Structure 1
Amino acid sequence: VPDAASAASDILGVRVDRLSRRDALARASAFLDDSRCRHVVTANALLLLDAERNPELKRACADADLVVADSVGLVWAARAHRQSAVVRYPGIDFARDLCSAAARAGKSVFLLGAREGVAAAAAEFLQRSVPGLKLAGKHDGFFDENEESVAREIAASGASVVLVALGMPKQELWIYRWKNRLPGGVAVGVGGSFDVWAGRVPRAPRWMQTSGLEWLFRAAWEPSRWGRIARLPGFVWKVLRAPR
C-alpha cells in the first residue's frame, strides 16, 4: 500500500490521496485490524471550502489516515494545477466496498446518523446486498454531539467499521473529536448514503454517476442542497487563483 505522503495532491491546503480505487480500498481494508480507529475522509469541493474557514475541520482533514476524492471537482482541481491524477471514488461506493471487505474479514459494521428508522433500513439493505455482513449496531443522528454516550455505545459494540451519516462537515468533526474513544478499525463520513440505501432518495442514473453529475441529481431531489451548491463557483475561482 503506497505511503500517503508520497502519493497525494494538495488542493486548497487539503491533502487528497492519489490512489486508484483498488489501492484506496486496500489501504482502508488494512486498517480493519488496527488497534486504533483510523479516519477516512471522502472529500468534495464544499468540504474543502469549509476547511478553509474552519481550523478544526482543516486539522481533521490533515490528521485523517486517508482522504479520497468524492467529487469530480477535486479531479478537475488536481488537473488544473497540473498535479498527478486524482481518482474519484464516491463515498457511497467506497463505504459499500468497505462493508464487503469487512464481511470477508468477519468484521462488523456500526451505522450512525440520519433520521429515525433510516439507519435501520440502510442496515437491512446492506445485509441483503453484502453477503455475510455483520451488524454491530445502529443509532440515529439525533444526539448531543458533545456527549460521550454514543462513542461509548460504539466502542462497546466492537465494530471495526463505523459509517457516520451526519452530513458534511459535522460527520468529519465528530469522528475527529471522538476517534480516540472509538474501537480499532475505520470510521468514515458517508453523507446521505443511508437515505439512498434506505430507499428514501433514489441514486442518480449510471450515466450521471460516471459523468460526475450525481451532485446535480441529488440537488434536484433535495432543493435544500442548492444553497451549498451555489458556493461551487467560489471553489473554481479559488483553485484558479491558487499558486501552482
Structure 2
Amino acid sequence: MKINRIQICKVPVDVLTMEQTMEIIDQAICNNKSVHHVVVNAAKLVNAHKDAALRESIVNCDIINADGQAVVWASKILNKPLPERVAGIDLMQNLVAMAAEKGRRIFFLGAKEEVVSKVVDIYKSKYGSAIIGGYRNGYFTKQDEPVVADQIAASKSDILFVAMSSPKKEIFLETYKDILNMPFIMGVGGSFDVVSGLVKRAPVWMQKAGLEWLYRVGQEPGRMWKRYLITNTAFIYLVAKEKLRSAVSYKSEVASESKISA
C-alpha cells in the first residue's frame, strides 16, 4: 500500500486510518519486513520543532500516525485533512489481539517493574502466555542500553512495544533498531500505565472532543497543567504560522499567474 504523507509543523504525518495502519503492519510482519512506527501529538510536534534528534527519529520512521485529535484538526485547518486519529494505545491493543490470533510474540519494554509485569499478566490471562516474548522495566542507564537491546533481540519476538517518555523512546528505537532486528517496533508512551489500571483513560466523549489532555491535567494537575499550557499554546502558534505562510504563498502564486496572463 502506497502511503500518502503530509507535513504539519514541518514534521511528516501519514494519511492513514486505523484499519489501513493495521493492514500495513500485518503485511510487514508476514513478510518479515522491519517497520518502525511512531505516533505524533501536539506536544511531540512542538518538541520536534526544537529538538533535532527527536525530529530525526520521527522522520526516519516507516509509519507516522496522528495520535492526537489536535493534529487531525490542524490538518483540516491546513487544507490537508487526515481521515482520523490513530491513537497509540488503541493501535497497541489491536496489535496484541492480532498477535494472539496469528501466533505472534511481543516484547514489552518500559514503565516500572510492577506496572510492566502487571500488563504482561493481564495479557497472559486474556490471550495466553504464547504471545509473551519477554518484558523489562524502563529504568536503565544510557550505558545499559546496548545490553537491553541485545536482550530484546534475543527474545526473537515479532513486536516490540516501548513505554517510555518522549524523546527517550524515539531515540532509543532509532539508535538500536538494527540491533533489535524485529519486524515491528513502536513507542507507546504511557499505555502500560493505562492497561495496568494505574492511570485511567479519559471517557470516549472526551477522546473524540480532543480533551484527553484536560482529563490528564485533572489527574495530575501539579505536574501536567504547565506542560499542556505551554505545548498547546505553542502548537496553536505553529499551526497559525504555517496557515499564514501557506496563504501568503498562495497569493504570491496567484499574482505571478496574473502577470503571466497579462
TM-score of Structure 1 vs Structure 2, range by shorter chain: over 0.9
* Residue pair 1:51, 1:58 contacting (<8 A) in 2 also: yes
Matches within 5 A, 1:182-221: 182-221=180-219
Contact 2:69 2:208 in 1 (8 A): no
Choose which of 164, 174, 178 in structure 2 pairs with 1:180: 178
Residue 23 of structure 1: aligned partner: 20
Aligned equivalent of 1:157, options 155, 158, 164: 155
Q: Which has the larger radius of gyration?
A: 2
Q: CA deviation at 1:163?
A: 0.5
Query: Post-superposition shift, 1:133?
Result: 5.7
* Residue 36 of structure 1, CA deviation: 5.3
Alignment of 1:32-71 (within 5 A): 32-35=29-32, 37-71=34-68
Q: Which moved more, 1:125-134 or 1:196-205?
A: 125-134
Alignment correspondent of 2:259:
none
Structure 1 length normalisation: TM-score?
Answer: 0.93
The equivalent of 1:225 in structure 2 is 224
Output the amino acid matched with 2:96: C
Bigger mean CA offset, 217-226 vs 164-173: 217-226
8 Å contact from structure 2 (residues 72, 81) kept in 1: no
Higher mean alpha-carbon deviation, 112-121 vs 209-218, is at: 209-218
Distance 1:28 1:14 in 2: 21
Deviations 1:72-109 (A, max 9, x none): 11101101111133420111101111112222221101
Q: Does the CA contact (< 8 Å) of 2:107 and 2:161 recur in 1?
A: yes
Q: Deviations over 1:198-228 (max 9, x none)?
A: 1111121222122222222122112322232
Percent identity over paired residues: 32
- Answer 1 or 2: which has greater helix percent: 2
SS of 1:30's equivalent in the other structure is helix
Higher RCO (C-alpha 8 Å, min separation 6): 1
Whether the 8 Å contact between 1:152 and 1:181 is mirrored in structure 2 is: yes
TM-score computed with the length of structure 2 as normaliser: 0.87
2:254 corresponds in structure 1 to none
Q: Provide the C-alpha distance between the structure 2 equivalents of 1:31 and 1:111, rounded to a whole number of angstroms.
A: 19
Alignment size in residue pairs: 241
Q: CA deviation at 1:126?
A: 2.4
What RMSD over aligned residues (CA atoms) do the two structures have, in Å? Answer: 1.7
Q: Is the 8 A contact 2:164 2:189 kept in 1?
A: yes
